[in-house]
Copies of this chain bind each other. A is one copy, B any other.
Amino acid sequence: MIYSFNNDYSEGAHPRILQAMMETNLEQNNGYSMDTHTAHAKERIRQEIQCEDADIHILVGGTQTNTLGIMSALRPYQAVICAETGHINVHETGAIEAKGHKVLGQLTEDGKLTPSHIQQALDWHTDEHMVQPKMVYISNATEVGTQYTKAELEAISTFCRQHNLYLFLDGARMGAALTSRANDLTLADIARLTDLFYIGGTKNGALFGEALIIMHPDLKPDFRFLIKQHGAMLAKGWLLGIQFEELFQNNLFYEMAEHANEMADQLRTGIADCGYGFHWNSTTNQLFPVFPNDVIDKLEKDFLFSRQAVIDEHHTCIRLVTSWATRQDGTDAFLQALRSIAGK
* Chain A contact residues, CB within 8 Å of chain B: 3-4, 6-7, 9-13, 15, 18, 21-22, 24-31, 60-67, 71, 75-77, 79, 90-95, 97-103, 128-132, 202-203, 207-208, 222, 224-236, 239, 304, 325
List residues of chain B with CB within 8 A of the CB of A128: 93, 222, 224-225, 227-228, 233
Query: Judging by beta carbons under 8 Å apart, are A129 and B228 in contact?
Result: yes
With a 10 A CB-CB cut-off, give which of A24, A97, A234 has the most chain B CB atoms.
A97
Q: How far is the CA of A24 from the CA of B208 in the complex (A)?
A: 16
Are A11 and B31 neighbours in the complex by a CB distance under 8 Å? no
What is the total number of copies of this protein in its complex? 4
Residues of B within 8 A of A304 (CB): 28
Structural contact, A131 and B236, CB atoms closer than 8 A: no
Determine the distance from Cα of A31 to Cα of B121 in the docked complex, in whole angstroms: 25
Cβ–Cβ contact B24 & A12, under 8 A: yes
**How far does the Cβ of A277 sit from chain B's closest Cβ, in whole Å?**
24
> Residue A76 contacts which of B71, B79, B231, B325 (CB distance < 8 angstroms)?
B71
CB < 8 Å neighbour of A102 from B12, B97, B230, B235:
B97
Task: List B contacts of A222 (CB < 8 A).
Answer: 75, 77, 128, 132
CB neighbours of A61 from chain B (8 A): 231-235
Q: Is the CB of B233 within 8 A of A76?
A: no
Contact of A235 among B30, B65, B208, B325 (CB under 8 A): B208
List 13 additional contacts besides A76-B98, A93-B229; criterion CB under 8 Å. Answer: A4-B28, A12-B239, A18-B25, A60-B60, A64-B232, A65-B231, A75-B225, A90-B130, A94-B101, A95-B231, A97-B102, A128-B222, A208-B236
